[in-house]
Protein backbone atom coordinates (compact mmCIF):
# COMPACT_ATOMS: atom_id res chain seq x y z
CA UNK A 1 0.00 0.00 0.00
CA UNK A 2 2.91 2.34 0.73
CA UNK A 3 4.14 2.21 -2.88
CA UNK A 4 0.58 2.66 -4.13
CA UNK A 5 0.11 5.85 -2.12
CA UNK A 6 3.48 7.19 -3.28
CA UNK A 7 2.46 6.69 -6.91
CA UNK A 8 -0.95 8.33 -6.38
CA UNK A 9 0.73 11.33 -4.73
CA UNK A 10 3.14 11.46 -7.67
CA UNK A 11 0.19 11.76 -10.07
CA UNK A 12 -0.89 14.88 -8.19
CA UNK A 13 2.66 16.26 -7.97
CA UNK A 14 3.11 15.84 -11.74
CA UNK A 15 -0.19 17.59 -12.46
CA UNK A 16 -1.82 14.50 -13.97
CA UNK A 17 -4.66 14.87 -11.47
CA UNK A 18 -5.68 17.94 -9.48
CA UNK A 19 -6.51 16.12 -6.26
CA UNK A 20 -7.69 12.79 -4.87
CA UNK A 21 -9.07 11.02 -1.82
CA UNK A 22 -9.41 7.38 -0.91
CA UNK A 23 -13.00 6.18 -0.75
CA UNK A 24 -14.91 2.90 -0.67
CA UNK A 25 -14.03 0.00 1.58
CA UNK A 26 -10.46 1.07 2.31
CA UNK A 27 -11.69 4.49 3.49
CA UNK A 28 -14.24 2.78 5.74
CA UNK A 29 -11.42 0.73 7.30
CA UNK A 30 -9.95 3.94 8.73
CA UNK A 31 -13.11 4.35 10.82
CA UNK A 32 -14.62 0.93 11.54
CA UNK A 33 -13.66 -2.63 12.44
CA UNK A 34 -11.74 -4.49 9.72
CA UNK A 35 -13.50 -6.46 6.98
CA UNK A 36 -12.36 -8.00 3.72
CA UNK A 37 -12.03 -5.59 0.80
CA UNK A 38 -10.49 -6.21 -2.58
CA UNK A 39 -9.39 -2.91 -4.07
CA UNK A 40 -8.51 0.72 -3.46
CA UNK A 41 -11.08 3.21 -4.75
CA UNK A 42 -9.52 6.58 -5.46
CA UNK A 43 -11.81 9.47 -6.31
CA UNK A 44 -9.91 11.91 -8.48
CA UNK A 45 -10.44 15.44 -9.61
CA UNK A 46 -9.01 15.18 -13.07
CA UNK A 47 -7.23 17.77 -15.11
CA UNK A 48 -10.06 18.90 -17.37
CA UNK A 49 -9.02 17.61 -20.77
CA UNK A 50 -11.96 16.72 -22.96
CA UNK A 51 -12.11 14.99 -26.32
CA UNK A 52 -14.44 15.89 -29.20
CA UNK A 53 -17.30 14.08 -27.43
CA UNK A 54 -16.66 16.18 -24.31
CA UNK A 55 -15.54 13.11 -22.34
CA UNK A 56 -12.86 13.63 -19.70
CA UNK A 57 -9.61 12.07 -20.86
CA UNK A 58 -7.74 10.04 -18.29
CA UNK A 59 -5.26 8.71 -20.83
CA UNK A 60 -2.38 11.02 -19.76
CA UNK A 61 -2.60 9.60 -16.23
CA UNK A 62 -2.97 6.00 -17.43
CA UNK A 63 -0.17 6.39 -20.01
CA UNK A 64 2.11 7.64 -17.23
CA UNK A 65 1.25 4.63 -15.06
CA UNK A 66 1.71 2.24 -17.97
CA UNK A 67 5.13 3.78 -18.74
CA UNK A 68 6.16 2.99 -15.17
CA UNK A 69 5.31 -0.69 -15.73
CA UNK A 70 1.94 -0.93 -13.98
CA UNK A 71 -0.55 -3.26 -15.60
CA UNK A 72 -4.30 -3.56 -15.95
CA UNK A 73 -6.40 -6.26 -14.36
CA UNK A 74 -10.00 -5.76 -15.46
CA UNK A 75 -11.15 -2.30 -14.39
CA UNK A 76 -8.18 -1.89 -12.05
CA UNK A 77 -4.60 -0.85 -12.51
CA UNK A 78 -2.31 -2.79 -10.20
CA UNK A 79 0.12 -0.53 -8.35
CA UNK A 80 2.45 -2.09 -5.81
CA UNK A 81 0.34 -5.24 -5.82
CA UNK A 82 -2.84 -3.28 -4.99
CA UNK A 83 -5.71 -3.17 -7.50
CA UNK A 84 -6.64 0.51 -7.83
CA UNK A 85 -9.79 1.90 -9.40
CA UNK A 86 -9.57 5.59 -10.31
CA UNK A 87 -13.02 7.17 -10.27
CA UNK A 88 -13.53 10.64 -11.76
CA UNK A 89 -15.33 12.68 -9.11
CA UNK A 90 -18.79 14.14 -9.64
CA UNK A 91 -20.02 17.11 -7.58
CA UNK A 92 -20.60 15.15 -4.35
CA UNK A 93 -17.27 13.40 -4.67
CA UNK A 94 -15.41 16.63 -5.53
CA UNK A 95 -16.73 18.15 -2.33
CA UNK A 96 -15.73 14.98 -0.46
CA UNK A 97 -12.20 15.18 -1.89
CA UNK A 98 -11.99 18.86 -0.95
CA UNK A 99 -12.98 18.06 2.63
CA UNK A 100 -10.98 14.83 2.96
CA UNK A 101 -8.90 14.07 6.02
CA UNK A 102 -5.12 13.90 5.61
CA UNK A 103 -3.68 10.77 7.18
CA UNK A 104 -0.24 9.24 7.28
CA UNK A 105 0.34 5.62 6.29
CA UNK A 106 3.84 4.24 6.82
CA UNK A 107 5.28 7.75 6.45
CA UNK A 108 3.27 8.63 3.33
CA UNK A 109 0.56 11.29 3.47
CA UNK A 110 -2.75 10.42 1.86
CA UNK A 111 -6.26 11.82 1.82
CA UNK A 112 -9.25 9.80 3.01
CA UNK A 113 -12.90 10.73 2.63
CA UNK A 114 -14.50 11.62 5.98
CA UNK A 115 -17.27 9.38 7.37
CA UNK A 116 -20.03 11.90 6.61
CA UNK A 117 -19.18 12.10 2.90
CA UNK A 118 -18.44 8.39 2.78
CA UNK A 119 -21.94 7.66 4.09
CA UNK A 120 -23.47 9.89 1.39
CA UNK A 121 -21.44 8.26 -1.39
CA UNK A 122 -22.22 4.75 -0.15
CA UNK A 123 -25.90 5.63 0.28
CA UNK A 124 -26.11 6.85 -3.28
CA UNK A 125 -24.56 3.59 -4.55
CA UNK A 126 -27.05 1.70 -2.39
CA UNK A 127 -25.72 -1.83 -2.79
CA UNK A 128 -26.20 -4.24 0.11
CA UNK A 129 -22.50 -4.09 1.01
CA UNK A 130 -22.65 -0.27 0.94
CA UNK A 131 -25.62 -0.22 3.30
CA UNK A 132 -23.75 -2.57 5.67
CA UNK A 133 -20.78 -0.17 5.69
CA UNK A 134 -23.10 2.76 6.42
CA UNK A 135 -24.59 0.89 9.38
CA UNK A 136 -21.11 0.16 10.74
CA UNK A 137 -19.99 3.75 10.24
CA UNK A 138 -23.04 4.99 12.14
CA UNK A 139 -22.48 2.48 14.95
CA UNK A 140 -18.69 2.60 15.29
CA UNK A 141 -17.70 6.14 14.35
CA UNK A 142 -18.28 9.53 15.84
CA UNK A 143 -20.21 10.85 12.84
CA UNK A 144 -20.93 14.58 12.84
CA UNK A 145 -24.72 14.25 12.45
CA UNK A 146 -25.20 17.94 11.61
CA UNK A 147 -22.60 17.78 8.85
CA UNK A 148 -24.09 14.52 7.55
CA UNK A 149 -27.55 16.08 7.40
CA UNK A 150 -26.19 19.10 5.49
CA UNK A 151 -24.53 16.80 2.95
CA UNK A 152 -27.61 14.60 2.55
CA UNK A 153 -29.84 17.66 2.05
CA UNK A 154 -27.48 19.30 -0.41
CA UNK A 155 -27.23 16.22 -2.61
CA UNK A 156 -30.86 15.06 -2.39
CA UNK A 157 -30.19 11.99 -0.27
CA UNK A 158 -32.20 12.83 2.85
CA UNK A 159 -35.22 10.67 1.98
CA UNK A 160 -33.05 7.72 0.98
CA UNK A 161 -31.24 7.96 4.30
CA UNK A 162 -34.52 8.27 6.17
CA UNK A 163 -35.84 5.09 4.52
CA UNK A 164 -32.59 3.32 5.40
CA UNK A 165 -33.04 4.18 9.07
CA UNK A 166 -36.57 2.76 8.98
CA UNK A 167 -35.38 -0.71 7.92
CATH of the domain at 154: 3.30.460
* Count of the separate structural domains present in the chain: 1
Contacts 24+ apart (CB under 8 A), 116-119: 116/143, 116/144, 116/147, 116/148, 116/151, 117/92, 117/151, 118/23, 118/27, 118/28, 118/31, 119/143, 119/148, 119/151, 119/161
Let me know the angle formed at the C-alpha of 53 by 52 and 59, rounded to the nearest 5 degrees: 75
What pLDDT is stored for residue 58 in this prediction?
79
Q: What's the domain range around 103?
A: 2-165
What pLDDT is stored for residue 1 in this prediction?
87
Question: Between these two residues, 152 and 30, which has the higher pLDDT value?
Answer: 152
What pLDDT is stored for residue 49 in this prediction?
64
The reported pTM is 0.90
Residue 65 — very low, low, confident or very high, per pLDDT cuts 50/70/90? very high
Question: Between these two residues, 46 and 138, which has the higher pLDDT value?
Answer: 138
Mean pLDDT of 69-83: 92
CB 2 within 8 A of CB 108: yes
Amino acid sequence: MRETLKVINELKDKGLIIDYAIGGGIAALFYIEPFLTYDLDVFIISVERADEKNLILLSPMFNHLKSKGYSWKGEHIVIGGVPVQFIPADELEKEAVGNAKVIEYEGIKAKVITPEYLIAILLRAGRKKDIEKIEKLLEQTDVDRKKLEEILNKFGLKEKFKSLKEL
